[in-house]
Amino acid sequence: MDKLKIRGGKRLQGTLDVAGAKNAALTELCAALLAAEPITLSNVPRLQDVSTMLKLIRNMGVTAEHDDDGRVTLNAGGLNNPEAPYELVKTMRASILVLGPLLARLGLATVSLPGGCAIGARPVDQHIKGLKAMGAGIQIRKGFIVAKIVEG
pLDDT tens-place string over residues 23-49: 999 999 999 999 999 999 999 999 999
- Residue of 117, 134, 140, 150 with catalytic role: 117
* Residues near 93 by beta carbon (within 8 Å), at least 6 away in sequence: 114, 115, 117, 122, 124
Helix (H) or strand (E) holding 84: strand 83-84
Prediction pTM value: 0.84
Contact (CB, 8 A) for 105 and 79: yes
Specify the pLDDT at position 119: 38
Catalytic (active site) residue 30: no
Give the mean model confidence (pLDDT) for residues 79-92: 92
Specify the pLDDT at position 125: 86
Q: Which residues pair with 146 in a beta bridge?
A: 110, 139
